[in-house]
Amino acid sequence: MTSGGKAFTATNQASGAVSGVSRPVILLVEPQLGDNIGATARAMLNFGLSDLRLVRPRDGWPNGRARATSSGADEVIDAVRVFATTADALADVSLAFATTGRDRAMAKPVVTPGEAARQIWESPARAAFVFGSERFGLSNEDIALCDAVLTIPTNPEFASLNLGQAVLLSVWSWFAAGDTTAPQKLDLQGSPPASKEELFGMFAHLERELDIAGFLFPPDKREVMVRNLRNMFTRAQLSDQEVRTMRGVITALVKAPHAARRIRPEDKEQT
């Protein structure tokens, strides 16, 4: 699956300020499962990140399950760096967000992924999303090393997210904050959009024939009926070829008297 647009194209450069874009580090503290490390790498590369750091992974490093689960995100897996402590891993980071869903009763700002993304995009400094182990999450000592707590809004009655999901939502929020994909796109298959002159000509053609057929009746309802028809076709964003086709349809329907039209066998069965 490919995305329609990107905030940038390169994904094989280190995190940090690259061409004015601050790419956050992803730091996993004491991750337990290679599968979750692989899922993290996959999510990172989906959204243009490559700097994955680990602190004391339970099963050591490298990890075959991590590579297999990454689904081809080898450039992230190959570049993984392992650290002895969280402090060491954050040494070159200026803005760190501790991701946790639990209230730690600390005097720290609590932000959403969207707010964290905004701050990262507005700062030229290197930032990091920090995640704890699958079982225990981040320790209070690790959170104390970070600038803010990041909490992902979820259903309060079922707030459980696995590590891979939490990483995906965080890095997607960062990517989306700088993404330039148009919110809507219409592919007219090479045919240019119809001009207003072409569209108005079709309106006149259709309305003339509907008047003759007695459809736009009674007279006091004609204005509303015409407006509704025009709104319907305007919403369709027709191409110039589609307008020509529609006018051909109108012409074909009125070219011969009703009685002279070809009757299909299935039409006979319905009469």
Instruction: Tell me, letter by letter, the H, E, C secondary structure of the chain.
Output: CCCCCCCCCCCCCCCEEECCEEECEEEEECCCCHHHHHHHHHHHHHCCCCCEEEECCCCCCCCHHHHHHCCCCHHHHHCCEEECCHHHHCCCCCEEEEECCCCCCCCCCEECHHHHHHHHHHCCCCEEEEECECCCECCHHHHHCCCEEECCCCCCCCCCCCHHHHHHHHHHHHHHHHCCCCCCCCCCCCCCECCHHHHHHHHHHHHHHHHHHCCCCCHHHHHHHHHHHHHHHHHCCCEHHHHHHHHHHHHHHHHCCHHHCCCCHHHHHHC
Rounded average pLDDT per 10-residue block, the chain, 271 residues: 42 41 92 97 96 97 97 97 98 96 81 96 94 93 96 91 95 93 79 93 95 92 96 92 94 73 58 54
| Residue-level pLDDT at 181 | 84
Q: How far apart are CA 248 and CA 205, in angstroms?
A: 10
Token code pair at residue 38: 């692989």
pLDDT of residue 176: 94
Q: What pLDDT is recorded for position 199?
A: 95
Check residue 184 and give its pLDDT: 80
Backbone angles phi, psi at 95, to 5 degrees: -140, 110
Distance CA 123, CA 97 (A): 14
Task: State the pLDDT at residue 86.
Answer: 98
Look at residue 5 in the predicted model and tell me its pLDDT: 44
In this structure, which amino acid lies at residue 248? G
Query: Can you give the pLDDT at residue 106?
Result: 82
